[in-house]
Every structure is written in C-alpha cells, then in structure tokens.
Amino acid sequence: MESATPPQQVAGGSSWGAFLKSIASFNGDLSSLTAPPFILSSTSLTEFSSYWCEHPSVFAAPAKEADAAKRASLVLKWFLTTLKQQYASRSEQYGNEKKPLNPFLGELFLGKWEDDAGTTELISEQVSHHPPATAYNITNLPSGVRLEGYNAQKASFSKTINIKQIGHAVLTVPVPSSSDRETYLITLPALHIEGLIFGSPFIELEGTSYITSSTGFTAKIDYSGKGWLSGKKNSFTAILYPTGKEKDVLFNVSGQWTKTFEIHTGAAKSNNKNNLIDTWDPALFPLSELIVAPIEKQHPLESRRAWAKVAAAIAKSDLDTVGLEKGKIENAQREMRVKERAEGRSWERRYFTAQNDTPDPVLTSLGPTVSLAEHGDADKTGGLWRFDSGKAAKAHDEPLPSEEDAGKLARELLGQ
Ligand code: HC3
C-alpha cells in the first residue's frame, strides 16, 4: 500500500498549494480538477463498481436465510462491509485518496470472482458522460443474488470538497424454498474529503442512507466522523426496523466502517454481550480476488486496455504523456459525439438501457420510503439505468473484435 504523499512542489510547477487554490474556485465538475501528478490515480471510476462485492460469500449469504427479518439484517451487514472497499480501499493508511480517471462514454469494466461462493460476475459500464454516470450489474450465479445500480456525483466546495451521490442500487434476493424474490432499494451516502489542507486527503461519510425492502423492513444508517471534542473517524450507527415503525428496532449495528462493527438484536440502549449476534472485522476476512481478462484479451473499450497508455504514464509521473494520451481519448470522443449528432443517432449502451418513459416498479413501490423520486433523478444521471439482459446476452455471444477491427475501434473511439 502506498503511503501518504506530503504537500510538495513537483516537477512541472504543479504544487499542492496551487491545487488547493484551484479547488476553492472549482465549478462542481470533478473531472475539471487539475490535480498534481502525485494525486492522479490510474484507476477509472468504472472499476469502483467492483467494490460492492469483494466478499462474495457475504453478498450471497441472505439467500440462505429463511427468516425475512434476519435476511434483511444480512443485507445490512453486507452493505456495511462494502463501505471500506468503496470509500477507503485506496487509502488504507489514510490520506492517500487520489483522483480517479474520468471514464469515457461506453467504457467497460468486466470481471468475476471465483471462490467459496461460486462464480460472481461483474459488468460495469459508463452509461453517461454529461453528466458522468456509471451503471453496474453484479450476479452471484449459484444463489441468484443480484445487485444493479448506477451513480453520479454532484460536487460542491465549502471548506472542502463535498460530494452528494445521485443514483441508487437495487439488490434482488431469491427467497429460500420459494419462487419469490425480494428487492432492496439502497440509497448512497454523501461524503466529503478530509485532510486536504495537510496534503493527505481521505474520505469521510456523512448524513444518512437507507436500505428498504419489499418484505417490509428498513435499515437506516447514520454516519459520523471525528469531531473537535469526541468521536472516531468513519463511525456509523445503523438500525433495522419494520418499515414505518422506527421505534421498533429489531437489530442495531455500530462501529467504524473501516474497522470493526457489532450487530446486536433490539435497540442500542439494551446492548450487552447476551444480545450480540455477530461481529465484523475486515482483517479476518480477506478480499476475494477479482479476475479481469489480460489486456490483450479485453474488448478495446474495456477500461484497463483503453487507459493503458495513460496508466503507464501516471506510473512514471510523466505528466506530458498523461495529458497527450488523455487528450487523444477526449478528442476522439468529442468527434464521435459530433458525428452521432450529425447522423441523428446516439451511442448504443452495451449492457444497460435508460428506462425514462415507463415507471420503474422498484422506485414506485419503495422509493417513497427513502425519499427517492419515481424517476430516480434521471435528469442528473442521463437516464434511469437498468440492466438489459437482452443486450447482455447479445454481448456475451459476440466474439471479441479481430485485431484489425479492435484497431479500427481504438482509432475511431479513443484516438489510439
Ligand atoms: C469523489 C471521488 C470520485 C467519486 C468516488 C465514488 C463516490 C464513486 C462511486 C463509488 O461507488 C464510491 C466512490 C468512492 C470514492 C469517490 C472519490 C473520492 C475522491 C474522488 C474525487 C473526484 C477526487 C478529488 C481529488 C482528491 C485529490 C481530493 O482526491
């Protein structure tokens, strides 16, 4: 794991101080932040979708639980275990949060996990560029547990970078010994960057997020950080209750999302070792390894292949080449959009379809509980994105483009 980089003057005259000044006047467009080279990450935001499932057996566990309330508590547990990967996996030592690559429209990140939970497949696609939005679908094949969702970020500056996440996730869990499936609607927490002034940025979550289920349970998660006088970094408390009856707490969870947490039955006031039913310590549960095809076997639009030259230049801190190679992709993408407009067509997403005209059944039934609009803020994410199994089957059956066709695609779409 890399260590935190202290504020410094770097070759090319790009200093942390200059970066802070540019942040203070930035317009909310995260992609426009010109960060110094030591803060650039070679990981694209399309890869972040994998952070939802780095413990596939925890992801699949609810499908084995017969009791509906306990199932909901396992879903809550899984969600809480993902927070460390989502928001701190890149900055384990704290203070090393970097600026990810801003994906191009149509960028793909595909992978799978093979472990005790069987095969779990991941599909992530950049479905919108203006505004930037990433959609994903993750399926554990043996259990049928499936997560789909999409997200965008709305950033603002007030003392630091504040990010509101727009979008949501939907988890589908097959109910054991039945043909029923239950759905969980998951909202995404807001976050801000701490430690900016010291040149060691890390994420703190804030506010409240929810998980609400078609079987009538809601989990409310409250995030807090280290205050001036008390509190610990990355803290949270969560309660699970029958939807609409917040006082009838069935389970409560508390701890730090980067460290350990405990699950008790009932309300927190009665917590003791007799009602402690589960604990989580990430140190005891190693992450399952995500398998990604070698670059030469990837589709030209797959993230690590498309950004390979930029990533190599970032690794060498060669800012000129980073700028040049990024510029090639951005220009080719701009030209493609102009061409599409002239031809009266738009980019065909490979795995997802925007469902803007038909009311979404999950948002219609569960959205009001968690204050999510029926249209899912589609105007801020370029659409209400849902996984399209028809498109996925077609993509699955399509052979990889020949070397010649891959070259053509890379030239046309990525300027390479
Ligand atoms: C804000 C963020 C980009 C967005 C990242 C998101 C919200 C993306 C969706 C994932 O599911 C969860 C997630 C985790 C981390 C978020 C990133 C942290 C920093 C990055 C900014 C664009 C970079 C700001 C620059 C700097 C140097 C302060 O890190």
Q: Which atom of ligand 1 is nearest to the CA of 155?
A: 1
- pLDDT for the residue numbered 90: 66
Tell me the pLDDT band of 91, cut-offs 50, 70 and 90: low
Ligand 1 and 89: CB distance under 6 A: no
| E strands in 65-201 | 99-101, 108-115, 118-128, 133-140, 146-158, 160-174, 181-187, 190-194
The percentage of residues in the chain with a pLDDT greater than 70, rounded to a whole number, is 95
- pLDDT for the residue numbered 7: 39
- Residues in Cβ contact with 149 at an 8 Å cutoff, skipping those fewer than 6 apart: 135, 136, 167, 168, 169, 170, 186
Statement: residue 178 has pLDDT above 90: yes
Residue 279 tokens read as 């604990």
Alpha-carbon distance 76 to 62, whole Å? 10
Q: Which residue has the higher pLDDT, 157 or 192?
A: 192
| Average confidence score pLDDT of the chain | 92
Amino acid (1-letter code) at residue 281: D
Statement: residue 176 has pLDDT above 70: yes
- pLDDT for the residue numbered 200: 83
Distance (Å) from CA 134 to ligand 1 centroid: 13
Averaged pLDDT for residues 119-131: 97
- pLDDT for the residue numbered 94: 56
Alpha-carbon distance 262 to 403, whole Å? 52
Alpha-carbon distance 328 to 387, whole Å? 30
Statement: residue 14 has pLDDT above 70: no
- pLDDT for the residue numbered 95: 67
Q: Crossing angle of helices 308-315/319-342, nearest 10°?
A: 160
Ligand 1 and 325: CB distance under 6 A: no
C-beta separation of 299 from 305 below 8 A: yes
| Ligand 1 pocket test, candidate residues 49, 87, 107, most atoms within 8 A of CB | 87
Statement: residue 69 has pLDDT above 80: yes
Statement: residue 3 has pLDDT above 60: no
Distance (Å) from CA 21 to ligand 1 centroid: 19
The whole model's pTM is what?
0.94
Ligand 1 and 48: CB distance under 6 A: yes
Buried b (16+ CB within 10 A) or exposed e, 255-284: bebbbebbbbbebeeeeeeeeeeeebebee
Averaged pLDDT for residues 285-298: 96
Q: Which atom of ligand 1 is nearest to the CA of 19?
A: 27
Identify the residue whose C-alpha is closest to ligand 1 atom 4.
153
Cis peptide before 131 (omega within 30 of 0): yes
Strand partners, 173: 182
Per residue in 368-380, pLDDT tens?
999 998 888 888 9
Statement: residue 10 has pLDDT above 60: no
Averaged pLDDT for residues 255-281: 97
Tell me the pLDDT band of 358, cut-offs 50, 70 and 90: confident
Distance (Å) from CA 354 to ligand 1 centroid: 24
- pLDDT for the residue numbered 9: 39
Averaged pLDDT for residues 158-175: 95
Per residue in 137-148, pLDDT tens?
999 999 999 999
A 10 A CB-CB count for 158 gives: 7
Tell me the pLDDT band of 20, cut-offs 50, 70 and 90: confident
Distance (Å) from CA 20 to ligand 1 centroid: 16
Tell me the pLDDT band of 181, cut-offs 50, 70 and 90: very high
Distance (Å) from CA 193 to ligand 1 centroid: 9
Which range is most confident: 34-38, 226-230, 390-394? 390-394
**End-to-end CA gap in the chain:** 31
DSSP code string of 1-67: -PPPPPS-EETTTEEHHHHHHHHHT--S-GGG----GGGEEEEEGGGGGGGGGSSHHHHHGGGG--S
Averaged pLDDT for residues 221-237: 90
- pLDDT for the residue numbered 93: 57
Distance (Å) from CA 251 to ligand 1 centroid: 31
- pLDDT for the residue numbered 13: 41
